[in-house]
Amino acid sequence: MKTISGLFTDHYQLSMAEGYFSAGRKDDRVNFDYFFRKNPFGSGFTIFAGLQVLFNLIEDFQYDSDDIDFLYKRGFHDDFLDFLKNFRFRGSIYAPKEGEVIFPTESILSVEGNIIEAQLLETLLLNTLNYQSLIATKANRLRQSAGKRSVMEFGMRRAQGWAAIHGSRAAVIGGADSTSNVQSAYIYDLDSSGTQAHSWVQSFDDELTAFRTFAQLRPKKCVLLVDTYHTLNSGVPNAIKVAKEMQQQGHQLFGIRLDSGDLAYLSKKARIMLDKAGLPEVKIVASNQLDEYLIKSLIHQGAKIDVFGVGTNLITARDDGALDGVYKLSAVNDRPTIKLSEDVAKVTLPGKKKVIRYLNGNGEFYADGILLSEDDPDDVDMIYHPQYADKKSMVNGLEKENLTSKVFENGNVLTAKKSIGEISEYRSLRVSQLADEYKRFEYPHIYKVGLSSNLIQLRMDMIAESKRSK
């Protein structure tokens, strides 16, 4: 069954594609760059996610007879529709590894191909990479706050529809340990987990019977929700009774869950009660509108919480509803192109490019350089600020990595498929190579991203040429 079709795009993409076709330009070769202009959440960096999903979606990005009929009724012409019947994306994609740490203004992904296929891919690519990179970045912030404590994503009911599927995937890439989303767990081989709702407890005549019944039915990793009536006077004491009964039957209560009230206070009191009852192994799970700041605060207060369940604020990426990733044309038939703007930050970088990461000798990231594809990295001694050329950084002699490589060509994925766990491990490794000042939640240090002198010169020449031609 298809996930999507070639209709998963904006109308104007098809209008432009038909225009290129009718103008006899279907064989023009182009290069588009994907990049974003600011990190979400005030963060010092972003986690790149969604690449493997994009590969999968490209397989289904084509037009069957129903799609063609639909477009015909929307006024598209027969000759163009005949062309679409055999459409497949056969271009090339250059990108970093999924889970990579990336920064604003970098041409982090490039698409090469004919002008129609590259244009039609835009909306699908932006939809996939922007959202998953956003959620992975949010999840990584939660992981930073939680430290070694577990984080469970359970925002499916608050997600924007089917975004929950990709959101759960991205959350685990970013550092969540598990998800409540069973569909995502099935598709992406994630660890699914969950406790119980207040409705379960309310549906029984009393809380103790509700706990006993649930423990008998689900003794493995059993977690009891203790705040339906009164957390300390009723919920925790009843959970302790059931935990003792489970021990007699050869089982162990995994944990209790707090979902309301003062989580720091209640968790500390509950921990004392559990330990006094000889149940130090029983974990405390907490939920209720958690985010990275509240988790950080709870830990600072000495809260005895072992597992954080995060829903709304993770899956909806509060307080940044979208990553502002864009897809801009940078070359046509090997001729560099540029988009100009009165807003200097929106002037694009012309030509085909690559991104080089420089390390400081201790394995830490120092700066990223955006170079023209023909630049020899060994000949680049200095990189320059994208807007203020007087700001520059010496990179001569530094260890360097080519951040992007060809990952897709002519319908084939060129890299080995990674499990979500492997992608998350790579994300963790790369984040560990960032100095702490870039990881601050408040006013993080700005990571250096610079341009090669040749790219600076090309941009200046094209701006000057544009002024002369007016």
Please count the other Cβ atoms lying within 10 Å of the Cβ belonging to residue 60. Answer: 14
Give, in order, the Cα–Cα distances in Å from 363 to each of 143, 399, 422, 450, 467.
Answer: 22, 9, 20, 20, 44
In the chain, the percentage of residues whose pLDDT exceeds 70 is 99
Distance CA 325, CA 298 (A): 33
Distance CA 75, CA 61 (A): 21
In the chain, the domains with their CATH numbers are 136-315 (3.20.20.70), 350-403+439-470 (no CATH)
Q: Residue 1: pLDDT band by 50, 70, 90 thresholds? A: low
Q: List pLDDT tens digits, range 174-218.
A: 999 999 999 999 999 999 998 999 999 999 999 999 999 999 999
The tokens describing 178, both together, are: 């598990």
Q: List pLDDT tens digits, range 340-383.
A: 988 888 899 999 999 999 999 899 999 999 999 999 999 999 99
**Radius of gyration, CA atoms only, the chain:** 26
What pLDDT, on the 0 to 100 scale, is given for residue 470? 63
- Can you tell me the mean pLDDT for 394-422? 97
Global confidence as pTM: 0.96
Is residue 254 a contact partner of residue 274, using CB atoms and an 8 Å limit? no
What pLDDT, on the 0 to 100 scale, is given for residue 302? 98
- Can you tell me the mean pLDDT for 225-249? 98
- Can you tell me the mean pLDDT for 238-253? 98
What pLDDT, on the 0 to 100 scale, is given for residue 346? 87
The tokens describing 193, both together, are: 């987990």
Is residue 47 a contact partner of residue 173, using CB atoms and an 8 Å limit? yes
What pLDDT, on the 0 to 100 scale, is given for residue 466? 84
What pLDDT, on the 0 to 100 scale, is given for residue 31? 98
